[in-house]
């Protein structure tokens, strides 16, 4: 039970200034309670790594995986410095991190999708008295363990065991601390720094799709297509010069039909078949061809299409914006694509936050001191919004050369135009019987649409009430 007396009512700044209070909770790992026996964090998801690798060759998953990786690899980084940043620190950090940008983001996103996390060895060197990054070495997830504080669960580094013919040996272990490792995980629960693979969202769907596909193949092999059926009466019939059981005659017919599609029927048996077709015989002979007509295959195809859509959705992308462009409106597909872009940008921000807290912080602390930590941060540039860029381009042309866009202006809703660009506007002021104060572009657009002369609107920031005599003077001076 919480005891209020254990916590001071107010912390004395002279006593508690710059003091880190300890964590009191244990590692936050689902299914475990209390402290760990050692600092090695168990990787419970490693059993599924083989399945995740197999899933990468599925065409739909491969496509969705590529769409998740490509946007964050192509978009750039912005290096932002704060007011207290050391001189030249921004240029130094950019020179160290920018050459590795594409490599890092590709490895981070692929590691997140396939395994839930991505480990790197951060290899440094001294260059002109500065600590610099010579290489980010990506480590294999299967061979890497995460080290944590066994009492709090805080990340402490990475561990690998050197492999030899006798197996793994503790004597050959390599430990990387927080100063020479980079660990990125986007979907972490508690202090389980292995994260959660994005592939896990599609693992059950992938299994179901394969089961449906196996059933469809079995159906195509054993059931689908056309089959000959011979109905025969019980008894015997003269056949090939001897009295033969009707079952043997039927099997002979089927053997000829299946082998070469040709069939010779004795005249007496043919008469039996004719009588059967005209209803003159109670136990007739009958030959027919049964065809599936592809009805069942349609069910398999629809089921697999549904599961393919779920695969795409499992990667955080609305399927309508990726594989179902033939349905719905273009505006709806565009809205779904906006959702995917928001997801991409969120992942980019989470990944860069960890890069800032580890690699960038290390470089600043090693070269400029503890006070420089956090003075330079890397921020993701927004994904390109082509629609907004087009609107901004048109808006610029309207301002610089309105005569050239006369025809376009007549079909544009200027108020909506301004809202799409998030342009600030003064509140509309109602001046009694006088027209409302409007923006310059809106007023200009209205004048273009009307052939009648209009009174000039008074515009500008912080207008306040307009004196009636001033307004009357403006009205009298309007040319006719």
User: Where are the chain's structural domains?
Assistant: 25-198+339-380, 226-291, 391-476
- For the stretch 373-387, pLDDT in tens is 999 999 998 876 555
Helix (H) / strand (E) element for 41: namely: strand 40-41
Confidence category of residue 287, pLDDT binned at 50, 70, 90: confident
Residue carrying structure tokens 């290096």? 79
Among candidate residues 238, 199, 225, the one with its CA nearest the CA of residue 296: 225
Strand order across the beta sheet in which 181-184 lies = 130-138, 118-127, 181-184
- Identify the residue with better confidence: 112 or 333: 112
- Identify the residue with better confidence: 102 or 428: 102
Round the average pLDDT of the chain to a whole number and report it.
Answer: 76
Phi, psi of 171 (to 5 degrees): -65, -20
pLDDT over 90 percentage in the chain: 35
Q: Supply 451's token pair.
A: 């052939």
- For the stretch 180-230, pLDDT in tens is 999 999 999 999 999 999 999 999 999 999 898 888 877 766 655 566 777
Alpha helices in 424-467 (DSSP H): 440-449
Among candidate residues 356, 376, 380, 357, the one with its CA nearest the CA of residue 92: 376
Q: For residues 361, 366, 368 and 370, what is the CA-based torsion angle, rounded to 10 degrees?
A: 60
Residue carrying structure tokens 């001191």? 369
Q: How far apart are CA 253 and CA 450, in angstroms?
A: 89
- Identify the residue with better confidence: 304 or 55: 55
CB 423 within 8 A of CB 392: no
């Amino acid at each position: 039970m919480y005891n209020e007396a254990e916590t001071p009512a107010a912390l004395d700044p002279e006593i508690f200034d710059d003091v880190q209070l300890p964590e009191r909770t244990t590692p936050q790992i689902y299914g475990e309670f209390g402290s760990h026996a050692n600092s090695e964090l168990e990787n419970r998801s490693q059993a599924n790594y083989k399945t995740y690798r197999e899933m990468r060759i599925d065409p739909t998953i491969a496509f969705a995986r590529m769409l998740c990786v490509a946007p964050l690899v192509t978009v750039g980084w912005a290096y932002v410095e704060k007011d207290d940043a050391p001189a030249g620190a921004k240029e130094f950090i950019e020179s160290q991190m920018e050459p590795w940008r594409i490599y890092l983001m590709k490895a981070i996103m692929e590691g997140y999708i396939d395994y839930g996390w991505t480990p790197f060895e951060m290899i440094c060197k001294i260059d002109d008295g500065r600590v610099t990054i010579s290489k980010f070495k990506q480590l294999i997830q299967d061979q890497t363990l995460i080290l944590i504080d066994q009492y709090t669960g805080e990340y402490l580094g990475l561990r690998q065991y050197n492999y030899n013919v006798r197996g793994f040996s503790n004597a050959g272990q390599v430990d990387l601390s927080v100063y020479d490792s980079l660990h990125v995980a986007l979907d972490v629960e508690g202090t389980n720094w292995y994260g959660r693979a994005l592939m896990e969202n599609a693992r059950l769907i992938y299994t179901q799709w394969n089961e449906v596909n196996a059933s469809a193949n079995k159906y195509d092999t054993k059931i689908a297509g056309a089959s000959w059926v011979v109905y025969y009466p019980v008894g015997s019939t003269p056949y090939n010069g001897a009295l033969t059981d009707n079952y043997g005659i039927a099997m002979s017919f089927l053997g000829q039909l299946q082998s070469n599609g040709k069939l010779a029927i004795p005249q007496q048996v043919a008469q039996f078949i004719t009588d059967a077709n005209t209803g003159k015989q109670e136990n007739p002979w009958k030959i027919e061809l049964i065809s599936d007509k592809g009805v069942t295959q349609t069910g398999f195809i629809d089921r697999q299409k549904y599961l393919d859509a779920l695969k795409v959705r499992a990667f955080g992308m609305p399927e309508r914006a990726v594989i179902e462009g033939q349905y719905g409106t273009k505006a709806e597909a565009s809205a779904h694509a906006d959702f995917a872009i928001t997801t991409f940008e969120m992942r980019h921000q989470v990944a860069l936050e960890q890069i800032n807290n580890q690699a960038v912080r290390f470089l600043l602390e090693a070269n400029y001191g503890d006070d420089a930590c956090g003075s330079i941060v890397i921020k993701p540039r927004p994904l390109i919004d082509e629609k907004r860029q087009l609107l901004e381009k048109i808006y610029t042309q309207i301002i610089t050369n309105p005569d050239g866009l006369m025809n376009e202006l007549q079909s544009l809703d200027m108020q909506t135009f301004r809202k799409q660009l998030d342009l600030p506007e003064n509140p509309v002021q109602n001046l009694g019987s006088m027209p409302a104060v409007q923006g310059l572009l809106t007023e200009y657009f209205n004048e273009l649409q009307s052939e009648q002369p209009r009174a000039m609107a008074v515009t500008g920031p912080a207008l306040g009430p307009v004196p009636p005599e001033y307004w009357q003077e403006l009205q009298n001076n309007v040319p006719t």
